[in-house]
Amino acid sequence: MVELFLWILLAHIVADFVLQTPAIAEAKCAGYLRGYIKHAAWHFFALMVFTHQYVSLSMFGLWLALPLVHTLTDWAKNRLIPPRHPADAPAFVVDQALHLLVAFSAPIPRKT
């Protein structure tokens, strides 16, 4: 289970900090749905790549749920604290903490 969580964490890091282009980040900050959809798609893709060895029906549910919750968290953060606001740095830390909390609390499927 620890191994799977580490793969999920790696997928999160790659999707949030490697695959999220400046254009996607700007689109999200501007409130454009396409930015959120592209970001969620990268999270879905990264999760599939890093956790494919755990494929199961419950894992597929996790592949859908984690990007959805991640995207809703990003959207809420951008609505509550507009990007480039002086509180943006602490908001980033809280945002990442929430993403990790969701990953930690997700029902982790067992390897089949």
Q: What does the pLDDT look like over 12-52, one tens digit per residue?
A: 999 999 999 999 999 998 899 999 999 999 999 999 999 99
Between 66 and 101, whose confidence is greater?
Answer: 66
The pTM (predicted TM-score) of the whole model is: 0.84
Nearest to 40 by CA among 22, 9, 16, 58: 16
pLDDT at residue 90 is higher than 70: yes
pLDDT at residue 111 is higher than 70: no
Span 50-74, average pLDDT: 92
Please tell me the distance from the alpha carbon of residue 66 to that of residue 72, in angstroms, as a whole number.
10
